[in-house]
Amino acid sequence: MKKLGLIGGMSWESTVSYYQAINRGINTQLGGLHSAKLLLSSVDFAEIAHLQHQDEWPALANVLSKEAINLQTAGADAILICTNTMHKVADEVEASITIPLIHIADATGQLLKQQGVKTIGLLGTRFTMEQAFYKSRLKEKFDIDVVVPNASQRDLVHKIIYEQLCKGVICNASREAYIEIIDMLAEKGAEGVILGCTEIALLIQQAHTSVRLYDTTAIHAQTAIEFALSN
């Protein structure tokens, strides 16, 4: 089994989901008492969030690159950045190491393409919904068009992530607001909606809506499991 290096803590609430999903997935495949071989480097999210909102992306690239190098040195065979937003600096992180970086948008795009999806809705932080690094990758690599909420809805989605979900706060009113936005994306032509922030699945699950949801935490974890068990 290959060893996975996780850069987590962004936020730790969703890193718990990664740890659980990967270990459960490995056990499902191998049975018995098997669990995943993992290395976890968990950052202080307050420092990361401050730099995000100050638009200090080169500094963030440097922080995550150092974490990736440390994980590689410790014996990781591949790196996962356990957050969608920080894939804005994935290219810089990937360039700093010699082992694979398992990209969350690629894992998601591959699944969407397999299912024949052409237009997808996207929820996430403002950075992920508004900037090109995620949407363009889906379009250029997988020919998938992305639709996002309007400006006021993007602000609300972003606020709920940082002020509630990253703190482990689950609010029914926030869930209802998200469901309303998901329905609107479907009305705009989305064949499904990417839960493009690793915390969103803490609030919204498939049982809450008839619109097809794509949980990036689960998808990323499954791709990592497949890598860990590959020859």
Active-site residue numbers? 83, 197
Rounded alpha-carbon distances, angstroms, from residue 156 to 5, 78, 161:
32, 34, 9
Residues in the chain: 231
Place of tokens 């690629």: 106
Rounded alpha-carbon distances, angstroms, from residue 59 to 12, 46, 114, 126:
21, 14, 36, 19
Query: What's the CA dihedral at 186, 215, 122, 151 to 10 degrees?
Result: 100
Q: What's the rounded Cα separation, in Å, for the pair 120 and 221?
A: 20
